[in-house]
Amino acid sequence: MSKDFSALSGFSRRNGALYCEELNLRELAQRFGTPLYVYSHQALKTALENWMRGIAGTNHRVFYAMKANSNLALLKFFHDSGTGFDIVSRGELQRALMAGAKGNDIVYSGVGKSREDIRAALRADIGCFNVESIPELDRINEVALEEKRIAPVSVRVNPDVDAKTHPYISTGLKNNKFGVSYDQTVALYQRAATLPGIRISGIDMHIGSQITELEPFVHAADKIFDIVDALAQNGIMLDHLDFGGGLGVRYTDETPPSAETLVKAVSRKAAERGYADLPIYFEPGRSLVARAGILLTTVEYLKPTEAKNFMIVDAAMNDMVRPTLYQAQMPLVNCTQRDEASLWDVVGPVCETGDFLARSIELAAQPGDVLAMTGAGAYGMSMASNYNSRGRAAEVLVSGSRVWLIRRRETIEDLMALENTVPTDAFV
């Protein structure tokens, strides 16, 4: 695990201590407290550069999938670096705008857009709605007419391709809730062409997350180009293909293709099918931020038992739900080098048997030690909750020898701020 930590861009071990760029992680934990999310500016740059090399010399574009991590400081970095944003809610829309995005920088995905969501997006002049059903298409048309606007749309196609990932993050199979059935796509486009509040813009797909093989991407692209061919035969021409996201990262021993490799493979497929000039949108999330972030947590107790050894830390499933929800294996490294490792279940204070960060891992640690969970930059803080009335963690961004608090730790007062009591006689 220490070897994996050293392989992370922006992170290193020096004289036994763990560092984020030029700053000692244990010292950051002492300064800001734990649990603490720490992001490396250098690691963010490295991940984005891989994508940018892939699209260099093309008219393709990267739209960061905000669901992975929507902290405003990170969004500002991506905006300033030239990416757009893939959003799935009105809250994400507002975050994108606050980060400096303009309308054309935003594409709106998601299966459950409300009338208010659609209205807000139209007023922001977003670049495109990714439509996932006939009722949604009709609703967008209705709201657009009410707003006296024309809504640009792509249809999200469900290509029924196995992404070979965890079933909870597979989105491109016919039994998933996402997208329009492959066989019904052309008919839906024909319907869209008749609606006065709709302008057909592109076609969209997204087959899953944490995909570690190239073949599902290429297979799905081939199926999408079949539809593009069929649309052209029906006189419907598109101005872009939205390829979605889903590229996986290395957490333990995975070997996913690089972003550059993926982009070039899809571009080659487009050229083979006669669409070399068609702009392609990519919507990476995890591959841009996962390995740029770590979660620091302090060891509270060691609890050896006859059945298992439990290492109880101050971070919990409300801070990082991926191990519980997806059975994700995420390395934990002690910021202090120690000998005599044993097998431990690393667990949090939450009142659930499923509250664990790791199971049966070899680790040497003592109470008061600070552990670093790697690969925590994606779907960590963005999925955090207040379960058990726990305040969410603080977040910091490191660049060289400088550090900024980009989200303060929630207080107990914060947890109660939106709630009200009622008079005692209300219960009589």
Question: Over 60: is that where the pLDDT of 176 sits?
Answer: no
Model confidence at 175, pLDDT cuts 50, 70, 90, reads: low
> Which residues in the chain are classed under CATH 2.40.37.10?
2-40+290-416
- Is CATH 1.10.569.10 correct for 2-40+290-416? no
From 20, 128, 335, 351, the catalytic residue: 351
Classified as helix, coil or strand, 133 is coil
pLDDT digits (tens, 9 = 90+) for 66-85: 999 999 999 999 999 999 99
Residue 128 designated active-site: no
Output the pLDDT for position 254. 82
Model confidence at 61, pLDDT cuts 50, 70, 90, reads: very high
pLDDT digits (tens, 9 = 90+) for 388-424: 999 999 999 999 999 999 999 999 999 999 999 999 8
Question: Over 90: is that where the pLDDT of 279 sits?
Answer: yes
Is residue 39 a contact partner of residue 60, using CB atoms and an 8 Å limit?
Answer: no
pLDDT digits (tens, 9 = 90+) for 339-352: 889 999 999 999 99
Residues 6+ apart with CB under 8 A from 412: 389, 391
Model confidence at 211, pLDDT cuts 50, 70, 90, reads: confident
Model confidence at 163, pLDDT cuts 50, 70, 90, reads: very low
Of the candidate ranges 112-116, 196-200, 325-329, the one whose mean pLDDT is the lowest: 325-329
Classified as helix, coil or strand, 386 is coil
Q: Which residue has the tokens 């963690």?
A: 393
Structure tokens at 282: 């990519």
Output the pLDDT for position 160. 63
Question: Over 70: is that where the pLDDT of 98 sits?
Answer: yes
| Mean pLDDT score, 182-196 | 91
Output the pLDDT for position 69. 98
- Considering the chain, what percentage of its residues have pLDDT values greater than 90? 77
Give the Cα separation of 111 and 281 in Å (integer): 19
Compute how many other C-beta atoms are within 10 angstroms of the C-beta atom of residue 401.
Answer: 8
> What is the phi-psi region of residue 246: left when phi exceeds 0, alpha when psi lies from -120 to 50, beta otherwise?
left
- Residue 22's Cβ-side half-sphere holds a number of Cα atoms within 13 Å equal to 5
> Which residues in the chain are classed under CATH 3.20.20.10?
109-284
Is residue 35 a contact partner of residue 262, using CB atoms and an 8 Å limit?
Answer: no
Output the pLDDT for position 179. 65
| Mean pLDDT score, 198-216 | 86
Give the residue, 174 or 366, on which the prediction is more confident: 366
- Considering the chain, what percentage of its residues have pLDDT values greater than 70? 94
Output the pLDDT for position 203. 94
pLDDT digits (tens, 9 = 90+) for 103-121: 999 999 998 999 999 999 9
Of the candidate ranges 10-19, 92-101, 220-229, 404-413, the one whose mean pLDDT is the lowest: 220-229
Model confidence at 308, pLDDT cuts 50, 70, 90, reads: very high
pLDDT digits (tens, 9 = 90+) for 223-277: 889 999 999 999 999 999 998 888 888 988 888 889 999 999 999 999 999 999 9
Fold of 109-284: TIM Barrel (3.20.20)
